[in-house]
Amino acid sequence: MGHPLIRDEDISEALKEIDEHVRREYLEGRPEEERDWRTSEQREAERIGEAMRSLDPLI
């Protein structure tokens, strides 16, 4: 009949999972320095896109 209730704990847990995923997939794989800024920007955009696609099931 009605929609299941979403508890604060459920939201907190989902946000924690998203944060861990982003850190693991995006931030930890990041190189310290890039010489070619264009290549660096392209890689950053690809990483963000991949992270967003993999987060889709969690949202």
Q: What are phi and psi of 33, to 5 degrees?
A: -135, 145
Q: pLDDT tens digit string along 15-40? A: 888 888 888 877 766 655 556 677 87
DSSP symbols for the chain = --PPP--HHHHHHHHHHHHHHHIIIIITT--S--S-HHHHHHHHHHHHHHHHHHHGGG-
For a pLDDT cut of 90, what percent of the chain falls above it?
Answer: 0
CA 31, CA 41: separation in Å to the nearest integer? Answer: 12
Greater pLDDT, 26 or 48: 48
Please state the domain extents for the chain: 8-56
What's residue 44's pLDDT? 84
What's residue 20's pLDDT? 85
